[in-house]
DNA sequence: TCAGAGTATATGAGAGTTCAACTAAAATGA
DNA sequence: TCATTTTAGTTGAACTCTCATATACTCTGA
């Protein structure tokens, strides 16, 4: 009944898990050390920084930053305490909130970005050939399309 | 100075993050729902189940299960409470502990495995062509070799 | 226009993770 | 042989995440 993994698939799967975790740990360590925030928070700041007026509805932000709504809500509360983000009531929809990246938040992000990109290169792009990067892009895109929603 | 990501790299990176997270979430949800444990705990049980006598030194186990020592220590404490793992003092080295998978733990793992494998197929292998699986294996292996230690 | 259904977000508790101590037992070496 | 260093593992606190629930607003249809 169960379609078990054959030895090759097993190995691929374990490499996949190991690689993914090593990269995530590297990202988190670098950001925690140099910017005092986890990668999930960084992703939230990035998403906000790219939005018009650096502002976005909470649910839209959750989608962009690949966060659950609850996680985002907690995270933004922390980011607000640090003064990097501010929340405003949404005028168009009384239920909604809009998260806004403050200047201080933007400055923090700008300061953190170079070190982060360097880490991204070190842990992924520098390791792979251009051909592999293309392949990886296609693979991840396929996974994403399948699992998303 | 900073080697920023070009648009293609950006996209690949975002697909990579999204895919990785979607898969991890799928794994965690499935295991939490059907076996009442997170994926990290599952990996610990798997590692133990493959060891001679289903027993392993803590640090060796941490390495195999891709866990930090601290995380493993906390996790094994929980697994012990549930009766799935037992800890014994290591006779050869007075500092060491040996984690042992109990019969109950093994049974739990055996019961959880089919659903887990099914989820692994659904979220990764079924999505990719055999060629892509090969490519992904090579890519992850390269990342792992570079980042590990 | 109002009850009921649906949507946007927040919140609290419980659980897992990290980081920095801390304990205890080897190993080292003069 | 004893002080030092290293290694194995644990622990507590602070923090993040998840899940279920709560709150407050909007929409829908009779």
- pLDDT score recorded for residue A149: 63
Nearest nucleotide to A32 (CA to C1') is: C18
0.85 cut: is pTM over it? yes
The pLDDT value given to residue A1: 87
Task: Return the pLDDT at A109.
Answer: 98
- What is the mean predicted confidence (pLDDT) over B43-71? 98
Best to test chain A binding among B2, B7, B9, B20 (most A CBs inside 10 Å): B20
**What is the mean pLDDT for each group of 10 consecutive residues in chain A (149 residues)?**
96 98 97 97 98 98 98 98 98 96 98 98 98 98 92
Measured CA to C1', the nucleotide nearest B41 is C16
Determine the Cα–Cα distance for residues B27 and B25; give it in Å rounded to an integer.
5
* Average pLDDT rounded to a whole number, residues B139-149: 93
Determine the protein residue whose CA lies at the shortest distance from the C1' of C20.
B70
B94/B115 Cα distance (integer angstroms): 39
pLDDT by residue (tens digit) across B75-122? 999 999 999 999 999 999 999 999 999 999 999 999 999 999 999 999
- pLDDT confidence of residue B146: 95
Give the 3-state secondary structure of residue A145: helix
Buried b (16+ CB within 10 A) or exposed e, B6-33: eeebeebbbbbbbbbbbbbebbbebbee
pLDDT at B1: 87
CA/C1' separation B97–C26 (Å): 14
> By the CB < 8 Å criterion, does B123 face chain A?
yes
User: Six-digit token pair at A53?
Assistant: 């007026």
Q: What is residue A48's predicted lDDT score, i.e. its pLDDT?
A: 98
Q: What is the residue-averaged pLDDT of chain B? A: 97
Residue B83: CB atoms within 10 A of its CB come to 12
Show residues, CB within 7 A, near nucleic chain C: A 25, 28-29, 32, 57-60, 69-70, 72-74, 76-77, 87, 90, 93, 95-98; B 37-38, 40-41, 67-68, 70-71, 74-75, 78, 93-95
């Amino acid at each position: 009944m169960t379609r078990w993994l054959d030895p090759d698939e097993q190995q691929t799967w374990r490499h996949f898990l190991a690689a993914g975790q090593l990269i995530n740990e590297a990202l988190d360590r670098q950001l925690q050390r140099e910017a005092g925030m986890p990668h999930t928070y960084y992703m939230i700041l990035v998403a906000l920084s790219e939005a018009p007026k650096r502002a976005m509805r909470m649910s839209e932000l959750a989608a962009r930053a690949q966060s659950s709504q609850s996680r985002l809500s907690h995270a933004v509360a922390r980011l607000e305490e640090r003064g990097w983000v501010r929340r405003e009531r949404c005028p168009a929809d009384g239920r909604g909130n809009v998260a806004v990246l403050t200047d201080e938040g933007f400055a923090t992000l700008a300061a953190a970005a170079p070190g982060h990109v360097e880490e991204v290169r070190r842990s992924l792009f520098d390791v792979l050939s251009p051909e592999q990067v293309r392949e990886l892009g296609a693979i991840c895109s396929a996974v994403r399309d399948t699992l998303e929603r």
